[in-house]
Every structure is written in structure tokens, then in C-alpha cells.
Amino acid sequence: MRVMPYAAIGAHYAIHLPAPDDFAFWRERARGLVQCDIPPDRVSWIEPGGIGDLFASEGRETSLARSDKRLPVPPADAPPVRASQHFLTLARRAALHSDPARFRLLYQTLWRLQSNPRLMEDKADAQVRRIEELAKSVRRDAHKMHAFVRFREVTEEDGTPHFVAWFEPDHHIVRAEAAFFMRRFANMRWSILTPRGSVHWDGETMREGPPARIEDAPGGDPVEDLWRSYYASIFNPARLKVSAMLSEMPKKYWKNLPEAALIPQLIAGAQAREAAMVKAGAREERVRPASLAEVTQGIAACRDCLIADCGTRAVAGEGPERAALMIVGEQPGDQEDLAGRPFVGPAGQVLDDHLARAGILRSAAYVTNAVKHFKFTWKGKLRLHQSPTAKEIDTCRWWLEAERAAVRPRIVLALGASAARGILGRTVSVNQVRGRPIPLDDGAELWVTVHPSYLLRLDGAARDEQTARFAADLALVRERQAAD
């Protein structure tokens, strides 16, 4: 069989490209053909292995060398071929597309550009749009390659690390994109293997290799376990948006991504995880109680924390509905739970004595607790008081805030750190904030002092000192009340 690579049958030219991504070769030939005035319908562009490539087995180099003689030589006075910068940029990319018609399309457009230099601006033209589409999908493929190549580390015989990746691009982008990886990993030895050819960088020079198979790449890397842990942890199950993920990371890429194997189980577990979080954390939607009566009803039925489930009763606040002073304790104790009223036990006695001495009328104040149920542990037959946790105080703030909104006191007296947290929402040190007012959002002011039960736990000099300070704090509140 005779070798005839550029078959000039009836002045029809078949151009064989040496490689599917050889834009420079196409540019060279296209320039000559335009200068010889050969219209697009008389040229076919054939890539290696492509349809019409009858001569591939004959050895491309020799056939090309011979074929050049068969191409018409452009006349010496032929005008230079012109194309816009925009066309060149797009064409360079579009040439890497796997569409077999791309070189024909590019030549057609180059041909039309000679008579209409501003053709590329006409975005409504079908061929211009097609080139843009091709370029765009090549750009996307390249971008996905930058993103989804995953190197695995292997140790070479000489003990040096070698990072090897397997990737399956849609288009002929491997050679073009090798430079990106060289700039990024300049001081690393790496290889990227693909079915369209491979590239190798040893820290100094780039080498190209033949198409590879997935078996040529290493099968795993211990760091991938850490990466999968990270992937699973950074995912927020409360905001599942699978379609958004799929549009950017289509399933075709999943098989070569170590983290993708986790996706189905993460999606399946997400709803369950969010439901559990909501159940443990927030409560169902509710309307804030508008009156003290609603608060009293509400706390009796409240089961937002475990304290409420111990068989005790909810102890509501008591006092005038529009009291100027609100006194907040920590939580009902044993006696309060039995009586159903706040501050009736030993600590209540201490409080009453001190209030009377300071000249504060308890009956004119609204008295309540930061936490509405009694928290205790059994010790024999005794119910021993246990401090509520910050979380429990915060949960109960819902009711305390409703009480504050209903009573609207001008002064709030918090007894102890738990009460202060119930009002402020943060933990403060009683010793640091006592003795001066803290302004609150609604214009009221907060005074913080110790809880009277603290005085009961002290002995001797310490008790006398703290009692004096407690009395002094109450006196300040009284002064403030009088000034109001």
C-alpha cells in the first residue's frame, strides 16, 4: 500500500496531526492553508487514532516528512494571516477538547476571521459560541484536574519520596496542565498518570510518558485516613445540600477521590445527627409566656432539663406583679420544694433577717429563683442540695427572662453566681462584681451579692466578715431603691 498522508485528491487535503493536543502544528498548517486560499470544506484534520487515520500504522514521522512536499507552497507575496488575540486564547484551549471536529471548527473560524476581523465579538454566532463552549469545557476539565489530582506517596529504591497520582481527564489537557503542578510542587518528585499520557517531574526536568493504566499507580497512602477524618468532621450535617455538591464534584470523579467513599454514609447519617442535636439542644418552638400566671403554668409542665424529672415540684416566684425590686436566688431547696414557695428554708430565714435590717420590704419585692426545680442527691433519707450546671441555668433562663419581662423591675438583686448567670447569661465572679450596679439591656440594673446559704456554711470570723459584707451589699441596694 502506498503512503499518501496529505492526499491531494481533487484538491482535498487531509492533515495528520502528530498529537491530539498539538496546537502549534495546527497553527502552522492552518496559516499555510489560508495563505494558499484553500477553503475549510477542502481540508480534513485527522488526529492520531482518529477516524480516517488510515496511515497511523505506517509511522507518522516518515509520512509527515513526505507529505509536506504535497502541500501547496504559499505564494511569496501572500498577505499575512491575522487573528485576534481573543481567538488565539480560545483556540489554544479549544484545541485540547476531545471533540474530533475541533480543528475543523477552528479552521473555519480562522477562515472567516480573514474577512471579518471582529467576528469573535459576535457572541450570537453559532461557531463563535461553539468555540467558547469547547474552551470552557477544557478550562473546567483543567480546573478539575488541579482540584482532584490526589497524590500518593511511595518510597523509591534510593529512599526518596515520590508522589504519584492517577487521574482521568475528559480532554487532552495533561501536557498543558503539567506546568501548573510544576509551579506548585517544584521541589517534589511527582508523576501524574492518565489514560491520555503521563508526565513526570524530578525536581528539575519534566518528562512525558505513554498512556498509563490505573494498576500502574500506587493503591493507597496512610495519610488518606487522616484526610477522610477531616472530610467527615468538617461536614455540617445540619445543612445537607447534596445537589450543590454534585454539581461541583460529579460522580464520575468519585472513584479516584479517597474521601468520596464516605459520602453515602455521611448523607445517610446526616438527618439522624441533626435530629439528635436539635433534640439534645434546642427545644421545639414556643411562644414566650406573657404573664406570671403563664410562667407558673409553664414551669410546672417544663421538662427541658433533667432536674425537672426528679419528682419535685416547680417553685414559682412570688410577689407583686409590678415590683420595683426583683430578688433572684439559685434554686428551691428541700423546704421550698415542700412548701412550694421560694426562700422559706434556713437560707430564707437569713435573707429575711437581713432584708428587715436593711429596711427592704420583702413583700414589696418579687422573689424567685434562677432554676425552678430542686436539684438534689439522696443521702440516706436526706435530699442533699446540688448546684445546677451552667447549661441547666441557661435552659431555665427562658422562664427567668419571661418573669423579668412581665415584672419589669428597676433593680434586680442576684444572690450568688448561679443567679447572676441566670440574669446575665455568663458566669461572673461574685467578688469582682459585687457592690456596684451592672446595667442590663432593658434599662434595669443588676446588683450581685453572695447567696445567704453561703453565710450558713461559714464559721467564726469568716462568717462575721461575710455577713457584714452581705449586709453592706443590701444597704447599697436599699440606698439605690430610695434614690429611685
Partner 1 sequence: MSVPTLRQKLEILADAAKYDASCASSGTAKKNSLGGKGVGSTEGMGICHAYAPDGRCISLLKILLTNHCIFDCHYCINRKSSNVARARFTPQEVVDLTLNFYRRNYIEGLFLSSGIVRSANHTMEQLVEVARILREEHDFRGYIHLKTIPEADAEIIHLAGLYADRVSINVELPTDAGLTRLAPDKNAGQIEGAMGRTKARIIEAKDERKRFRHAPRFAPAGQSTQMIVGADDANDTAIIGKASRLYGAFGLRRVYYSAFSPIPDASAVLPLKRPPLLREHRLYQSDWLMRFYGFAPGEVADAAEADGNLPLDIDPKLAWALKFRESFPVDVNRAAKEQLLRVPGLGTTAVARIIAARRHRTLRLDDVAQLTASIAKVRPFICALDWRPTLLTDRADLRRLLAPKQEQLELF
- Contacts with partner 1 in 350-379 (CB under 8 A)? none
Cβ pair 191, 200 in contact under 8 A: yes
Size of the site for partner 1 (CB under 8 A): 80
Q: Which is nearer to partner 1, 278 or 356 (by Cβ)?
A: 278
CB of 229 to partner 1, least distance (A): 5
Grid cell, residue 417, equals 453566681
CB of 119 to partner 1, least distance (A): 8
| 129: contact with partner 1 by CB under 8 A | yes
CB of 138 to partner 1, least distance (A): 16
Q: Which is nearer to partner 1, 4 or 428 (by Cβ)?
A: 428
Q: Which are the contacts of 252, defined by CB distance < 8 A and separation ≥ 6?
A: none
Taking alpha carbons only, the member of 447, 446, 450 closest to residue 431 is 450
| 254: contact with partner 1 by CB under 8 A | no
| 395: contact with partner 1 by CB under 8 A | yes
Q: How far is CA 100 from the centre of its chain?
A: 40
Identify the residue among 241, 251, 379, 381 touching partner 1 (CB under 8 A): 241
CB of 467 to partner 1, least distance (A): 31
Grid cell, residue 4, equals 499518501
CB of 165 to partner 1, least distance (A): 7
Cβ pair 15, 45 in contact under 8 A: yes
Identify the residue among 110, 149, 212, 351 touching partner 1 (CB under 8 A): 149
Per CB under 8 A, the segment of 87-95, 175-183, 371-379, 411-419 that binds partner 1 is: 175-183
| 321: contact with partner 1 by CB under 8 A | no
| 251: contact with partner 1 by CB under 8 A | no
Cβ pair 372, 396 in contact under 8 A: yes
Per CB under 8 A, the segment of 293-301, 327-335, 424-432, 466-474 that binds partner 1 is: 424-432
Q: Which are the contacts of 175, defined by CB distance < 8 A and separation ≥ 6?
A: 21, 197, 199, 208
CA distance 369 to 383: 19
* Residues 255, 256, 261, 267, CA torsion sign: negative
CA distance 265 to 27: 50
Strand order in the sheet with 206-209: 151-155, 161-166, 190-194, 197-201, 206-209
Identify the residue among 28, 37, 58, 121 touching partner 1 (CB under 8 A): 121
Cβ pair 367, 319 in contact under 8 A: yes
CB of 258 to partner 1, least distance (A): 9
Per CB under 8 A, the segment of 12-20, 87-95, 244-252, 403-411 that binds partner 1 is: 244-252
| 318: contact with partner 1 by CB under 8 A | no
Identify the residue among 29, 171, 397, 451 touching partner 1 (CB under 8 A): 397
Per CB under 8 A, the segment of 64-72, 76-84, 148-156, 466-474 that binds partner 1 is: 148-156
| 396: contact with partner 1 by CB under 8 A | yes
| 154: contact with partner 1 by CB under 8 A | no
Q: Which is nearer to partner 1, 126 or 461 (by Cβ)?
A: 126
| 306: contact with partner 1 by CB under 8 A | no
Per CB under 8 A, the segment of 168-176, 292-300, 351-359, 392-400 that binds partner 1 is: 392-400
| 445: contact with partner 1 by CB under 8 A | no
CA distance 213 to 230: 29
| 151: contact with partner 1 by CB under 8 A | yes
Specify the pairing of strand 197-201 against strand 206-209. Answer: antiparallel
Binding mask 101-120 for partner 1 (x = CB under 8 A): -----------------x--
CA distance 469 to 449: 9
CB of 136 to partner 1, least distance (A): 11
Could you write out the DSSP letters of every residue in 304-355? Answer: SSGGGGSS------BS-TT-SEEEEES---HHHHHHTSSS-SHHHHHHHHHH
Identify the residue among 233, 301, 432, 459 touching partner 1 (CB under 8 A): 233
CB of 120 to partner 1, least distance (A): 9
| 124: contact with partner 1 by CB under 8 A | yes
Per CB under 8 A, the segment of 8-16, 37-45, 64-72, 185-193 that binds partner 1 is: 185-193
CB burial readout 204-236, b (16+ within 10 A) else e: eeeeeeeebeeeebeeebeebeeeeeebeeebe
CB of 215 to partner 1, least distance (A): 20
User: Angle of helix 126-148 relative to helix 174-184, nearest 10 degrees?
Assistant: 40
CA distance 98 to 196: 11
Cβ pair 145, 165 in contact under 8 A: no
| 280: contact with partner 1 by CB under 8 A | yes
CA distance 172 to 41: 25
Q: Which is nearer to partner 1, 48 or 230 (by Cβ)?
A: 230
